[in-house]
Structure 1
Amino acid sequence: MNSPRMEVKCGVDCCNYWENNCCNADALEVNPMRGKKPNTSDDTCCTTFKPSK
């Protein structure tokens, strides 16, 4: 079974998965920052990030 695919916009151009302002990773993982319960997007981070070569 194929997973749904959606466009994920990304402005982190130093990530290996960044291409034309979009994330091209096969999967995306977003977690809370600093182990606290998020209240805003500032309290989350993309843990899929991999520095570009």
Structure 2
Amino acid sequence: MSVKCGVDCCHYWNNNSCNASALEVNPMKGKDPNTSDDTCCTTFKPDK
């Protein structure tokens, strides 16, 4: 699966794509998701 990503400070980011072997997306804390703004990528790992 191809996943576009614009978070260039993530460890899995490579030229606007996510290179993680799996992707986890969850609701934002305290939100009942109705739009993509109410979700977050919990696969994010800061790039060192």
Report TM bin, short chain: over 0.9
Shift of 1:37: 1.6
Unaligned runs of 5+ in 2: none
Identity %: 83
- Superposition CA RMSD, Å: 0.7
Q: Residue 25 of structure 2: which of 24, 30, 35 is its match?
A: 30
Unaligned runs of 5+ in 1: 1-5
Corresponding residue of 2:2? 7
Report which of the two has the higher share of helix. 1
State the aligned residue count.
48
User: Which of structures 1 and 2 has the bigger CA Rg?
Assistant: 1
Corresponding residue of 2:16? 21
Aligned equivalents of 1:27, 1:40: Cα separation in 2:
22
